[in-house]
Structure 1
Amino acid sequence: KYTHDLEDAKSALQKLETSTSERSYKFFKEMKVFVENFVDCLNEKIQEIYQLESEMSEILESRSRTLLKRRQDDLQLESTAIQKLAGTGGDNDADEKTKMNLQDLELRRRRRHQKREDSGQKDHHEGMSSDDELPPDQEREYQQNQEDVLLLCKPIFDDVHEDFYQIKNVLAKFHEWRERFPETYYDAYISLCIPKLLGPLVRKQLIDWNPLQDTALLEHMPWYRDLDDFCFSKHEQENNLEDDPDHKVLNAVIEKTVIPKVSGDKHV
């Protein structure tokens, strides 16, 4: 599906190249070459990006499953201890292992409480959130697995010119087109192509983003700021182009990249 979307983008440029005046021919010729090279670059890198994205997702899911299992065990432990104290579980004195587990549970609970106080969180009721701590050895393994994936991410575009992977540079090409030849730009429905073209680049930047843990706001991420600047440029604000389809580009990119990550949909 993604390859089909990229071919549609290339086809739009080819049609424009054959229907423009001599004045703009050079520009569209260069734009056509850029888009073709950009699409070829993405086709070469996209599977690697998605593979690493999948590996990171599995690491996060594995951690979540471990925490869920531990939380269930904690609840079972507390239930068993209460039954013993109530005299319904046989021996009224919990064995040493149960006592140690309860002490560990209480220690983690106190650390969570202190962590929330230090971060300024209030109005929290214990039991309304899950325990997000792992034993030190498991936490180190989890961190190492994440770092291994990120190390593999870094060199993906080492052999590519920054014009083909820096979102700001890619958008600059389309911004120039919009400024110089707005009629052909809007006739080509570029606002529908950009989210498809930038999807893999944004997803690469989001590989290490965990929406359940990271406090970084989307609005502060480089790709978000670049798209926001493109969608709501100073020129458009001055001309009050309220119906500009480019205003929807940022939302479309979020729908294609952020929403699937939050919802756990790996097939978008």
Structure 2
Amino acid sequence: MGDRERDRPRTWHYGLVARWWAEFNTAEPAELAFYRSTIERAGQPALDLACGAGRLLLPLLRAGLDVDGCDLSPDMLARCHDLTARDGLVPALSAQAMHELDLPRAYRTIFVCDSFGLGGLRAHDAEALRRCHAHLAPGGALVLNIYPPYGDAAVWPSWRPERRLGLPEDWPETGDRRRLGDGDELELRARMLDLDPLEQRLTRQINARLWRAGALVAEEERSLLENLYFRNELLLMLDQAGFADVAVLGGYAGEPATPESAMLVFVAGKQA
């Protein structure tokens, strides 16, 4: 295995999982309103970085906003293309990793929703922030969110050595099984494989099974690496990437973050 392939971000957003994302993952009203208002305030064009199958991109395009999409997974982008084409929309879509971002436009707004830190290499995350800064027009804004590790009651106890003895978790006997638009059924099961508190890295595994007329016809397993961040280290990374005037919000209501905030939203500006 070459260095490039070994360093490639490890995510599970391919194949059957991409199909699930396209069929069932839709934007929550609060997050959609937040990103729309952010784009209207910070300006266009905007870039949905890690756009996936278009969960946010599609409704933003429907609202008449100038938004491009970029994602690591060609499978997700293919689903995104199909969904936007149904509405007669033709967004610019690019298949690139965040840390390799190289697009021809300068953006007033770049947003990364629920995706920063996925893949496994912290050096990639730092480079991704530098690339975002370089792709912003002067006065533009980067918006990204994270879920601090202490806010996840299922994961936080596993930072203790005695709890990690129980990893990897067993597969649940059943998962979330739903009917697709063509009548097939798709089931997802997930488990925690490992948590490395020194590296602050979580490894999860997903199992996707496709059922047709009651018979199992396809099954896939993939893993996802997630780097875990706390507020202050991400503030330092944003500073090192060249950002200024960083606000940290406690969710999409726009209020400042508190110790009780289960999600942190960073709004980082590029100097005009």
Which structure exhibits the higher relative contact order, with contacts defined as CA atoms closer than 8 Å and separated by 6 or more residues?
1
Same fold? TM cut 0.5: no
TM-score calculated relative to the size of structure 2: 0.27
Please identify the structure whose Cα radius of gyration is greater: 1
TM-score w.r.t. length of structure 1: 0.27
* Structure that is richer in strand per residue: 2
- Judging by fraction of residues, say which structure has more helix: 1
